[in-house]
Copies of this chain bind each other. A is one copy, B any other.
């Protein structure tokens, strides 16, 4: 039987706080929509995903590899991209056994900047159970809210989704020590109006204005993916993820 070793769970409301924390496992949460899309692509059989922090670098990488190019600027797919950053669309993308490239405004930036610091997972409601199960094997875990405006602004939906993952992890690990933000996020994620709170966030309302409401409904579904995508290699401005299935 797995002996959980985790002793401490923190939650960073902004990526900048995560960079000031010591941990052996970071879970980046960008609910709307990068990490939901990532969890969904791997559930659809994707083999590997290159995430990059620059839109031109994304185009260049996809051109060289011939891989499908996913991503968004201002919520929409930039010129020359094969797909947007839509988890709903990702369910039907022909990615089984292949590689892909992803650029988004916040999620990929957080993944790239944390990559050198420890194990880095991409977490969302879509794979809450899978990432919690993998994270239960680590001693110090930090949930990182990817935020808005290149990670400079707090995003409520990331905090709420991180609260759900924190709750799962706390259920798996009886004596877990919770930092303040993790405790508050668990508290608010357990309220009956959770879904309403997500839909009321600034980012959710912006997506609704772009006719992307189906992505919000999809992002709210828990455990549609049994994968815990993890960074397996990284460099300046890029990280390569593979989608380990959870134990």
Contact = CB atoms under 8 A, between A and B. Distances in A.
Interface stretch (A114-122, A132-140, A194-202, A239-247): A194-202
Contacts of A16: 14, 16
A5 to B, nearest CB: 22
A114 to B, nearest CB: 16
Contacts of A21: 153
Interface in A179-215: 179-181, 183-184, 187-188, 191, 197, 200-203
Contact of A159 (B155, B184, B191, B200): B184
A197 B188 CA distance: 12
B180 A188 contact: no
A152 interface: yes
A20 B153 contact: yes
Contacts of A201: 180, 183
A130 interface: no
Contacts of A157: 180
Contacts of A14: 13-14, 16-17
Interface of A: 11-14, 16-17, 20-21, 149, 152-157, 159-160, 179-181, 183-184, 187-188, 191, 197, 200-203
Contact of A180 (B20, B155, B184, B191): B155
B152 A180 contact: no
A155 to B, nearest CB: 6
A179 B181 CA distance: 18
A20 B148 CA distance: 12
Nearest to A16: B16
A20 B181 contact: no
A44 to B, nearest CB: 30
